[in-house]
Structure 1
């Protein structure tokens, strides 16, 4: 089937993705990668909520999702955002299909904290066969982070960074890319090219990594612990790769002394 690479596109980047980004997807395919795209849509959801005069609030960085908010989230993510990405991919000659996590039982979740967060879900199961079948027939899946409820709830809103990390682990993906509006992890204005999972935690503690970058790097760490080779924070305004190398901040798992000893043996 080839090497799977999960690419998470941030909602703030959807309208800013350049032709170079889509060309990079084709280049990744030429290098033997099978792309799987997971996307967010925060700014578009905010805009639609404002137009509909629906109040929304955030709790610990997660959008509290009421029934009204959930309807808008599903409409925007599985409607306009997913369709826009698929259209642009098709225009570049990349066969793709938009699906959401509730389709064919792809994602099942339960409430993360129903009383405080409403219908924000925590993924419990992933039907990876659905994605494998789409890849097998030559399609790039474009996944909206909506999940069915294992507890009888129609659907849950899933943090897109977390969903991308969970899907990458389930698929045994080799790489996980987070496409953002910055070139990578920045410290004092300079991009960090290589960093380990333990160094990432130190950067969070010192405040270098904050805000919306935290769920991205934590999802990256989860993926590395699940066996992934590397995760990369990249810009959607530039090519994702140069030659065969990823462009951005590469996050790798720090090799423990015991692991090194085992490799030598």
Structure 2
């Protein structure tokens, strides 16, 4: 499950109750979180300029220090506390811990600085945490063999974690109900969309900004072991149970038309 930091802060108590219930029923959630708005706010307070290139934050050493502080030290522990307060058990991790997320510079590093691409996920660490009865909560900071840190887009990190764990489903919890498409002048949520259709929507500009990394991450992990990615709003009643057990919520991203439900 990928959750934005700002999205998690606004989630109702019922979301965490549901997470607790699913864990008791034998579901093993793994959470990768972001925190873009909180990072931007902290950078602003510190007088550090920030900019974005194709939806990704340009990251120098000063920005990277703030990213790690906010994600690993702030938001990660806030999520763990919220889960604990609602009866479940959680264990906070950074991608740096135990070299959980190994990374290399992004292809356009000359434009965006210390932003990384995931090369490996040490899935054994996550599996041990789950075997102990905890929900892993992962901050998307990567590291290379030389100890250099990288800012990893949370959607990209979540997709990599899902692929390396070999899970069938990734849920992207957002503040929007799914992928929207303009039909007869009105925005409508797409129930299902294929990888090919996503590429066409990016090319046409219907998918833009921060939604691009989300769907790109979905496409990457679907090309691996993940069967489907579901983009949902965390404010929907019963969102997790419906996404995991029932379907019929948000946008389901699938590989080809052969995977359509209807």
Task: From 216, 219, 223, give the equivalent of 1:218.
Answer: 216
For 2:196 and 2:93, the matched residues in 1 are separated by: 35
- Aligned position for 1:248: 250
For 1:129 and 1:204, the matched residues in 2 are separated by: 35
Q: Are residues 1:110 and 2:111 paired?
A: no
- Aligned position for 1:158: 152
For 2:26 and 2:147, the matched residues in 1 are separated by: 39
- Aligned position for 1:196: 194
Q: Please, which runs of 5 or more residues in structure 1 have no aligned partner? A: 1-6, 260-265
Say if 1:190 and 1:94 are closer, same or farther in 2 by CA, change over 3 A: same
- Aligned position for 1:98: 92
CA contact (8 A) 1:66 1:118 kept: yes
> More deviation in 115-124 or 172-181?
115-124
For 1:181 and 1:255, the matched residues in 2 are separated by: 27
CA contact (8 A) 2:55 2:213 kept: no
- TM-aligned CA deviation for residue 214 of structure 1: 1.4
For 1:198 and 1:26, the matched residues in 2 are separated by: 36
- Aligned position for 2:10: 16
- Aligned position for 1:120: 115
Backbone CA RMSD of aligned residues: 1.8
For 1:253 and 1:32, the matched residues in 2 are separated by: 27
Deviations 1:103-160 (A, max 9, x none): 011011121144322211111121110001001111100000001122x243111011
Superposed, 1:1-265 pairs within 5 Å as 7-112=1-106, 113-150=108-145, 152-188=146-182, 189-238=187-236, 239-240=238-239, 241-242=241-242, 244-246=245-247, 247-254=249-256
The list of structure 1 runs, each at least 4 consecutive aligned residues, that deviate by more than 4 angstroms after superposition, is: none
Q: What is the number of equivalent residue pairs in this alignment?
A: 250
Secondary structure, aligned partner of 2:28: strand
> More deviation in 111-120 or 22-31?
22-31
> More deviation in 211-220 or 242-251?
242-251
- TM-aligned CA deviation for residue 198 of structure 1: 1.9
TM (normalized to structure 2)?
0.90
- TM-aligned CA deviation for residue 13 of structure 1: 0.9
For 1:207 and 1:60, the matched residues in 2 are separated by: 13
TM (normalized to structure 1)?
0.89
Q: Please, which runs of 5 or more residues in structure 2 have no aligned partner? A: none
